[in-house]
Structures are given as C-alpha cells and as structure tokens.
Chain A
Amino acid sequence: MTTVAIVALAAGVWGQRLAGMFLVGPLLDRRPVLAQAASLIPAAVICAVIVQLSIADGKSLVIDERLAGLAVAGVLVWRKAPFIVIVVAAAATTAALRAIA
C-alpha cells in the first residue's frame, strides 16, 4: 500500500466521519429520502466487495474453496453467531477444503 493511498484513505474515513457529525447530520434531518439513500450505500458496496473477494479471480468469476467459506459465514451470520466464530469458521472451512484438494 502506497503512502498516498494510506493518506487518501485516512482522509476519506476521518473526513466523512467529521462531515457526518457536523454537516450531513443537521442537513439530513430535513431530507429523509436522502438520509435513507445514504444509509443503504454501505450494504450495496460492502456486498460488492464481498463478491470481488470471494468469487473473482482477476477478470474471471470462479467458484472455489473461498465460496464455501463464505457460505458457512452466511449461515452463521444469519444465526447471529459471534463475530470471531464467523470469521474463524469461514477460514477453517476454506483451509480444510484446500487441504483435501
């Protein structure tokens, strides 16, 4: 990760937090539709990042051991398992399948 990237990402995170507290908070109080749209962005984008990390390999889509790990995580998230259980189970599932293959 380049220094430029670290600084830019930090600025993005810290800046949006402060903007949320001091600028957007008061503004969104008066615009409910905008507030609703903003609240849905993380769900859409984080799901996209999940896709990128679990089924993409360069420019092609592949189904491999990563997807099995994600499926296990999906069930555990749905059953409201603790965070640490979810991530360890996902990694263990993927590692186990790789060991067999």
Chain B
Amino acid sequence: MILLDAGTSLRRAWIASAVIYSATSQFAYLAVVQAGGSELAAIAAGWIVASRFGILAVAITRIFRDGVLLKAVAAVHAFDINAGLGLAQPDRSRAKRAFWAATLAMMVGWFIGITVGTFLGDVMGDTQRFGIDALFPAALLAIVGNALRTRNGLVAGAVGALICGLLIPVAPAGIPIILSVGGVAAAIALERNDVT
C-alpha cells in the first residue's frame, strides 16, 4: 500500500512485497526515497533494518539443530511471533511444531494482507485522506514495542531516533537513518558505565 503511495504500479508493489518478504525493509527504503534520498542510501537503510531478521534467525538456531534445508527454510521464515512462540516451548519437538504452525498462519496472513493492501490502496486513491501515511510509523512502533520495554532497547531506540531527527535538516536523505545505529553504541556505553 505504501508503495502505491510512492507511485509504484500495482503489480510491481505486490511482487516487491512477495519477493522481499519484509515490510520493515520496504518501509525503510521508501522512507528514504520519499525524503529525496539516493537509491543507494535507500537500499542501505533497507539492509540495516533487515538485520532484525538475521538476529531472529540466530535466535532460532536453538530450535533447529540439524538438516541444512530445514534450517534454511526456517531461517527465511523467522518472524517475531513464530520465533517467540517456538522459543517459549519447553522442548525442541514442541518448539518446532509451534514454530511451523505460527509460520503457516503468518504466511497466509502476509499474502492475503499484501493483496488486500495493494487493491485497497488502489481503490482508495488519495490514501492521505484516510491517514494511511500514519499507519506505517504506527506499525513500526508496534513491531519494535517489545524491544523498547528493555532498558538497552529503549536507550538504543531513543538515541537512534534523536540522531535521525537532528540530522534530517542537515544530512542528505537516508544518512540520518543509517547513522542512527549510533544508538546501539550509546546503549552499550551507558550499560558499561553502570557496571564500573
């Protein structure tokens, strides 16, 4: 839906969502493009945001120990919900079952969601009137909500947001988002300070 907002064709928007298989990466890319940033900066922003999935894949290595193909399929499907459900199970066989059940439900939901979203975006025309542009930051906030409940996550997020906000008026578009990883350094430095 946000892709249509940015002037991408219907079919291309659907394909992008299906192929990239990540809403957050698309949000990051488009945030930079809409701000007038270069293609390279936009892709870089999408990549950094996608590190979330690398981390989720790392987390589920505890559930999936053997079978290269099985591990690969699990890795590309790891999202917060199925990984969280899987890791909450007491043993590995139950963890696997919970993971795949949640994965199937989410996959169906994702493809229904992008299809409905694509056509809805087309039918609605002026999506701004319906506040659709406010929907995306809200979705991101919901995604990052759990991380912000930990102290380190909150510091990293707040400093990252601050860096971005301060740099937007002065730096080329896209750079503020990329440099926001400095929030991580702030969180770790603060924690070190506490310990000593």
Known A-B contacts A48-B161, A95-B130; the reply to A16 vs B51 at CB < 8 A is yes
List 16 A-B residue pairs with CB atoms under 8 Å apart, sorted by A's residue number. Answer: A6-B19, A9-B22, A17-B56, A17-B78, A20-B61, A24-B57, A35-B58, A40-B187, A43-B154, A53-B133, A53-B140, A61-B165, A89-B138, A90-B134, A90-B138, A95-B130
Contact A47 B58, beta carbon cutoff 8 Å: no
Rounded to whole angstroms, the CA-CA distance of A69 and B133 in the bound complex is 10
Interface residues of A (CB under 8 A from B): 1-2, 4-10, 12-14, 16-22, 24-26, 28, 33, 35-56, 58-61, 65-66, 69-70, 72-74, 77-78, 80, 83, 86-96, 98-99
Interface string of B5-43 (1 = CB under 8 A from A): 010100011011001111011111111110110010011
Distance (whole angstroms) from the CB of B123 to the closest CB of chain A: 15
Q: Which residues of A contact B60 (CB under 8 A)?
A: 21
13 more A-B residue pairs beyond the given contacts A40-B184, A77-B142, with a C-beta to C-beta distance below 8 A: A6-B16, A9-B22, A10-B19, A17-B53, A40-B156, A52-B164, A59-B35, A70-B138, A72-B138, A73-B142, A86-B141, A87-B138, A90-B135
Which of A22, A26, A73, A99 has the most chain B CB within a 10 Å cutoff?
Answer: A73
Q: For residue B13, which residue of chain A has the nearest CB?
A: A1
Q: For the complex formed, measure the closest distance between the CB of A58 and the CB atoms of chain B, giving whole angstroms.
A: 6
Q: How far is the CA of A57 from the CA of B187 in the complex (A)?
A: 28
Count contacts between A and B, CB distance < 8 Å: 299
Main secondary structure of the interface of A (DSSP, over half): helix
The answer to whether A73 touches B138, judged by C-beta atoms less than 8 angstroms apart, is: yes
- In the complex, what distance in Å separates the CA atom of A60 from the CA atom of B139? 23
Q: Which residue of A lies closest to B37 (CB)?
A: A52
Query: What is the CB-to-nearest-CB distance from B163 to chain A, in angstroms, rounded to a whole number?
Result: 7
Within 8 Å of chain A (Cβ to Cβ): is B114? Answer: no
Bound-state Cα–Cα, A55 to B168, Å: 10
On whether A22 and B71 interact (CB within 8 A), knowing A52-B177, A87-B135, the answer reads: yes
**What chain B residues lie within 8 Å of A4 (beta carbons)?**
39
In angstroms, Cα B161 to Cα A20, docked, is 26
A56 (CB) vs chain B CBs: closest residue? B168
Task: Mark interface residues in B156-182 (1 if CB within 8 Å of A CB, else 0).
Answer: 111111011100110001001100111
In the bound complex, do residue B56 and residue A53 qualify as a contact, i.e. CB atoms below 8 Å apart? no
In the bound assembly, the distance between CA atoms of A77 and B137 in angstroms comes to 12
Q: Are B142 and A55 in contact (CB under 8 A)?
A: no
Is B87 an interface residue when CB atoms closer than 8 A count as contact?
no
Q: Which of B8, B54, B165, B187 contacts A20 (CB 8 A)?
A: B54
In the complex, the answer to whether A49 meets B25 with C-beta atoms within 8 Å is no
Contact A44–B140 (Cβ < 8 Å): no
Pick from A1, A35, A61, A94: contact of B134, CB below 8 A.
A94
